[in-house]
Amino acid sequence: MRVQRIGYTPAFGYNKKLNSQLNSKLDQAKPDDEMANTIRYLNNYCNSTEELIRSSVDEIEENDFLNAFIAPKVTLADIVDTKYPELNYPTVEYRTYLKEIPKNIEEGDDPWQQYIVEELHPFTVDECDEDFEINDTDTKPTGNINKVDNTYQTMKETPDIVEMFKPTLSSPKGFDSLGGMHELKEELRDKILYPITHPDEAKEDFAEYGKRPPRGIMLYGPPGCGKTSIAEAMAMESGLPLFKLKVSKAGSAYINQTSKNYEAVFNHVAECSQLIDKPCFLFIDEIDGLTKGRDGDASSEDLKQMSTLLNLIETARDRNIVVLGATNKYDIVDDAIKRRFDEQVYIGMPDIETREQILQKTLSKWLKGVPLAQNPKDLHDIALKLDSFPASAIVILSEKASNKARKDGRRNIIKEDFFDTIQKNQNLKIKEDKYIEDRMRKRIGF
């Protein structure tokens, strides 16, 4: 694919007022402020690279200047939003580039601004201009999870034990943001996302084959392997809101209060679903903390709480709620609770292909990591040494390796940085056996 190169147009491009505000902030920073210095370096690099893109009248291959610009620009937006959230940097830049696209569309051309807009769009929380929308139904969410926010604000007071997920720069944009797990993604699309985003087709499936929309899905497996990321990716992929139950605050010492807390959460999510006339996800992480097996030591209050939760999950589908449970301790979850979930999926340690993709996606975000991210052989060599490391540990090791390169003359990240870092962090490995013993069944019923 070739990307249209247009002449430099001072009226557009990076927002000049925003750039001036950012520079004012940086001028006030202390000389030894590393984050401010990184922002200053990235901002100068991105601005000068964009000037080069705009001043050229020749066509270039998509992977030349464009990739050298987009990855650092997204990183810059992430860091600025962390350091100076009051600037609302990602949203303002998104609006700036978005306005420019219609002015440069010609038949057969792909304005380069479209690519930066696609990268920034999923992370903007505010409502943005709707004059131009990029439609790519094969890879983009069918809705916009952020658009729910205005409707959500009209609801009654939110219970303090539940919060609505709002994507940030570090959140997955969808399944494409997650490395590997191709079989799992396709199954989730077919069994979970398709029925709730295509209700008419789902009715046909039920009438012809008895296949009902999902009531819930339980994700289980070792910690750090992506259960929460998968839940967030499903929300982004479908464009539907995701609510998270704060398990640590759900319990109460008062009689009947815990059961009332459960009911308040489900009622709140059901109300949101009714307002937007679409399904909502309810994510219960560490569900084992709420649903330990019922035995002789269980009190009457414990049994009452369990009965309430069972009923709420049982009737969730009728209230347009899809319950997502996650646990590292599958064996202690009550059997009756397990049966309430239509699908139970084991999320295990990443295989070598997944490890390579995690490395590639992580390194591509950093200017000094792009050369290594584009070297398949080196990525494969690193991935071989990452056996038994969970996905979260691979990201941590990538950050440690990048810091090693930064301290060593601010050079590019190389595979030897990873080899040394991996050797020094063997404690991050996880023994998977205790999570799969006697129950290595990736799919249990549907």
- pLDDT, tens digit, 9 for 90 and up, residues 301-327: 667 778 888 899 889 888 999 999 998
Task: Name the residue among 340, 240, 235 with its Cα closest to residue 290.
Answer: 340
Are 323 and 408 in the same domain?
Answer: no
If pLDDT is split at 50, 70 and 90, which confidence band does 330 have?
A: confident
Tens of pLDDT, residue by residue over 27-58, are 998 888 888 888 998 888 888 888 877 776 45
* Location of structure tokens 């967030």: 232
Q: Would you say residue 444 lies in a domain?
A: no
Task: Name the residue among 384, 420, 395, 4 with its Cα closest to residue 172.
Answer: 395
Are 32 and 109 in the same domain?
Answer: yes
Looking at residue 306, its pLDDT comes to 81
Looking at residue 372, its pLDDT comes to 93
What residues have CB less than 8 Å from 422, skipping those under 6 apart? 382, 385, 386, 389, 397
Are 157 and 301 in the same domain?
Answer: yes
Q: Would you say residue 123 lies in a domain?
A: yes
Are 233 and 85 in the same domain?
Answer: no
Residues 73, 366: Cα–Cα separation, whole Å = 10
If pLDDT is split at 50, 70 and 90, which confidence band does 163 have?
A: confident
Are 127 and 162 in the same domain?
Answer: no
Cβ atoms of residues 62 and 10 within 8 Å: no
Are 130 and 152 in the same domain?
Answer: no
Which comes out higher in pLDDT, residue 336 or 414? 414
Looking at residue 102, its pLDDT comes to 64
Residue % of the chain over a pLDDT of 70: 75
In this structure, what CATH number is given to the domain that contains residue 423? Answer: 1.10.8
Domain interval for residue 332: 147-346
Looking at residue 116, its pLDDT comes to 78
Looking at the structure of the chain, the number of domains it has is 3
Are 307 and 168 in the same domain?
Answer: yes
Q: Would you say residue 282 lies in a domain?
A: yes
What is the SS3 assignment for 241?
coil
Are 95 and 211 in the same domain?
Answer: no
Are 250 and 374 in the same domain?
Answer: no
Q: Is 8's pLDDT higher than 50?
A: no
Task: Name the residue among 219, 131, 132, 134 with its Cα closest to residue 178.
Answer: 219
Q: Token pair for residue 107? A: 């038949």
Q: Would you say residue 441 lies in a domain?
A: no
Q: Would you say residue 265 lies in a domain?
A: yes
Are 411 and 276 in the same domain?
Answer: no
3-state helix, strand, coil in the chain (%, to 5): 55, 10, 35
Q: Would you say residue 440 lies in a domain?
A: no
Instruction: Count Cβ atoms within 10 A of the Cβ of residue 345 and give its class: 0-12 exposed, 13-18 middle, 19 or more buried.
Output: buried
Cβ atoms of residues 13 and 96 within 8 Å: yes
Residues 124, 219: Cα–Cα separation, whole Å = 28
Are 130 and 151 in the same domain?
Answer: no
pTM for the whole thing?
0.62
Looking at residue 297, its pLDDT comes to 59
Are 340 and 358 in the same domain?
Answer: no
